[in-house]
Structure 1
Amino acid sequence: MRITSSLRFVLLAVLAMLLSGCGYNQIQQKDEAVKAGWSEVLNQYKRRADLIPNLVSTVKGYAAHEAQVLTAVTEARAKVSQINVNADDAESLAKFQQAQGELSSALSRLMVVTENYPNLKADQSFLGLQTQLEGTENRITVARGRYIQLVQDYNTYIRSFPQNLVAMVFGYKPKPNFTVENEAQIQNAPTVDFNQPPAQQPQQQPQPQPAN
């Protein structure tokens, strides 16, 4: 017995309503939101990576003998560029996060070095890079924070009943997320303020001379 076109249409309509009521459409929307959030994270990290060659070149012009620090930044950037990250794979995301963290640390060390070169801090090219880098670090923090929230929302939704049944049928699984040892790192961008005076070293107290 053949199913008539009208009956087939009714069955499809009923199925569509059932799927909609079970959260299928919402899963699609949340999944797309996570993908868009991840694209923004990558965009901001790429923006930072694009600034680094000019930054290193400018610093090198005034502090060429700081080879170790400059090399560390260059190598950390190269390592980041070699990672083909898959945000849906926990191991891949962890490697990406570690590489980006190493680059952040190398940049922080470079910023400390620049404090010793007043002429560098007065260079207009350097000041322009400073502004761009500070803005990019802030945008990275915002993009990461938003992505973390989107993934948490998605994961919570597909684990809840009855959406978990729909997710299981269509193969939607929880997504890995960024992790930090210190929760405050999500909220605070790395310090890249070139205008802070270098920290004063504590003066050593003179040792008392032994009595003759």
Structure 2
Amino acid sequence: MELKRRCDQAPELIAAARAAAMPSEILAPLVGARSLAVALREQGMSLGEQAGSENALSVALHRLMFEVECNPNVKHDWAIQRPALELKVTEQRIIGAARVYNDSATAVNRLVRSVPAGVVARLVGGQQVPLFEATVVELPIGPDVAAEAHALHDVAPLAPLHDEVVSPAPLHDDTVAPTGREADVPGALL
């Protein structure tokens, strides 16, 4: 649902960026990535099959937002900043949804591996659920390119931008519960 919302919000940002005369080298990949993501969703492909197009869309959106931040002519343009802010909120919702899914999938996987519930689950066709694994994508904007962009737009350089989506680490069955003997451990809080 949030991935669809992101695709629905992107055209407004694209239109505002076109109106602000942003370079076509930035807009063309964004338009293409959005079109591909929408086409794959309409074909009914699974989330795993859509992951590449969604990742490309995320990278293209973040690259446009980076250019907006570097360009003082549009940095304070509310026509661009408002849809960019809405997309940032949607990105945070996507991250939250991935965490909830992974927590649920981990619980199901733990149940399927347990005895006797796992035996019954396997008899009726139950199986482990794959976790949603978001990749960390580094944008093709290295320090040299970022410095050139800042020099071109006459603004102070920022730290290199990364599109990082991190899922929480799943809990493992070997997690140790407190025993009540923490006082025996040197440095333990009482």
**TM-score calculated relative to the size of structure 1:** 0.59
Describe the SS at the equivalent of 2:128: coil
Identical residues among aligned pairs (%): 28
Q: Is the 8 A contact 2:65 2:84 kept in 1?
A: no
Out of 50, 56, 72, the position equivalent to 1:102 is: 56
Aligned twin of 1:85:
45
| Unpaired runs of at least 5, structure 2 | 137-154, 160-190
Change (3 A) 1:97 1:198: farther
Larger Rg: 1
Describe the SS at the equivalent of 1:199: coil
Aligned twin of 2:9:
51
Letter in 1 for 2:3: Y
Alpha-carbon displacement from aligned partner over 1:2-21 (angstroms, at most 9, x marks no partner): xxxxxxxxxxxxxxxxxxxx
- The higher relative CO (CA closer than 8 Å, separation ≥ 6) is in 1
Alpha-carbon displacement from aligned partner over 1:25-56 (angstroms, at most 9, x marks no partner): xxxxxxxxxxxxxxxxxx11111111100100
Aligned residues: 138
Out of 62, 84, 90, the position equivalent to 1:136 is: 90
Q: For the aligned residues, what is the CA RMSD? A: 2.1
Q: Considering fraction of residues, name the structure with more helix.
A: 1
Out of 60, 67, 76, the position equivalent to 2:18 is: 60
Change (3 A) 1:151 1:73: same
Shift of 1:176: 1.8
Alpha-carbon displacement from aligned partner over 1:166-211 (angstroms, at most 9, x marks no partner): 11221111122222455xxxxxxxxxxxxxx65269xxxxxxxxxx
| Unpaired runs of at least 5, structure 1 | 1-42, 88-92, 183-196, 202-212
Change (3 A) 1:198 1:46: farther
1:111 aligns with 2:65: yes
Cα distance between partner residues in 1 of 2:157 and 2:114: 51
Aligned twin of 1:69:
26
Shift of 1:120: 2.2
**TM-score calculated relative to the size of structure 2:** 0.65
1:154 aligns with 2:108: yes
